[in-house]
Amino acid sequence: MALLTLRSLVLNQLLFLVAKRFVSGQTIQEAVAAVRRLNANGIGATLDVLGENVSDRRAADAAVAAYLEALGWIQQESLSSNVSLKLTQMGLDIDRVYCLENVGRICERAASGNNFVRIDMEGSAYTERTLNLFHELFQKHRNVGVVVQAYLHRSEQDVRKLIELGARVRLCKGAYKEPPSLAVQTMAAVRQNFINLASLLLSQGNHTAVATHDDVLISWTKNYITQHQIPKERFEFQMLYGVRSETQRLLAAQGYSMRVYVPYGSHWLPYFYRRLRERKENVAFVLKHLFRK
Ligand SMILES: Cc1cc2nc3c(=O)[nH]c(=O)nc-3n(C[C@H](O)[C@H](O)[C@H](O)COP(=O)(O)OP(=O)(O)OC[C@H]3O[C@@H](n4cnc5c(N)ncnc54)[C@H](O)[C@@H]3O)c2cc1C
């Protein structure tokens, strides 16, 4: 039994060495160091305390405390960073009102430092609840934004409502496995939806985050804003920590606002798994590195 535990501990540590490509570290200090490196290249950040689907209040309370701590660091160190969080990490599966209060506390703390909170979008079981809770929060806190996933059939309707509300939206393709009844399945269809939604958001929406590493969509965005004379201040590109860092620096150097999602903490496995699923090459990368160690 002890041998088994030791073996899984060692495997966990080895896997974390590989996950470090996508995760800035396990501590706030490591995350702050990553943000400083990005800021030095003219790139903003959004700090994410890893965690999701918590089922007890102690874990949700700890996540809230970690976000308050992160906001404290951002303010004290004058970092160019906001925060991103998941509602299931804030207790959505436990109690809706409790979750609302938790996120409200983080929004209040962020507002006191003139900062912003982004609510990530999770799997389709949470889409409706996330948007409803977001709407309720937005009545009270204007420094909160949400995410729309281009692969979902429902997203155009959601985007239109969010535009009407004046909400700040991050648009991404979507990272969860969804059935054809809910989401388009081919890359071409996801890209087309992304373009349709980005056109709406960029021309009619509040500040938009175009979150992609896809060269086709990056070029499309650049052309669209030029053609429609949309000021660069109206949107930003966003990418993930450890993915296409060179392109991140290039876009920043070209004068685009660039923000990188910087995850940290001990609950890194589900996030790491989603990054692996996105690209076959990443699985090969993991196997190669595990084998080498
Ligand atoms: C800032 C940010 C926030 C996000 N927030 C959410 C969210 O709240 N909810 C949600 O469902 N999804 C979220 N995502 C994930 C997103 O939905 C996609 O799953 C992810 O970005 C991959 O899609 P892509 O547009 O980058 O294009 P892809 O077609 O997947 O990638 C284009 C190219 O980018 C590079 N690339 C992309 N992903 C990887 C990777 N994992 N490893 C190495 N190279 C890679 C490759 O060169 C690839 O060819 C977020 C993404 C970003 C950038």
| pTM for the whole structure | 0.94
Atom of ligand 1 nearest to the CA of 123: 11
Q: Is the pLDDT at 290 greater than 80, yes or no?
A: no
168 catalytic? Reply is no
For residue range 181-201, list pLDDT tens digits in order.
999 999 999 999 999 999 999
Q: Is the pLDDT at 3 greater than 70, yes or no?
A: no
> What mean pLDDT, rounded, does the chain reach?
94
Structure confidence at residue 7 (pLDDT): 73
How far apart are alpha carbons 205 and 197 in whole angstroms?
Answer: 10
Atom of ligand 1 nearest to the CA of 194: 25
Long-range pairs for 222-229 at CB < 8 Å and ≥24 separation? Answer: 222/256, 224/198, 224/199, 228/202, 228/203
For residue range 26-53, list pLDDT tens digits in order.
999 999 999 999 999 999 999 999 999 9
Residues of the chain above pLDDT 70, percent:
96
Q: Which of 120, 158, 191, 275 is catalytic?
A: 120
* 172 Cβ below 6 A of ligand 1: yes
- Lowest-confidence pick of 66-70, 153-157, 176-180, 269-273: 269-273
Nearest C-alpha to atom 19 of ligand 1 is from which residue? 175
Helix (H) or strand (E) holding 14: helix 2-19
Q: How far is CA 65 from CA 17, 58, 71, in A?
A: 26, 10, 10
CA dihedral 183, 268, 249, 67 (to 10 degrees): 100
Nearest C-alpha to atom 27 of ligand 1 is from which residue? 214
DSSP at 264: E
To test the ligand 1 pocket, which listed residue (23, 172, 186, 260) has its Cβ within 8 A of the most ligand atoms?
Answer: 172
Span 262-284, average pLDDT: 87
In this structure, what token pair is assigned to residue 62?
């700890």
Q: Is the pLDDT at 293 greater than 50, yes or no?
A: no
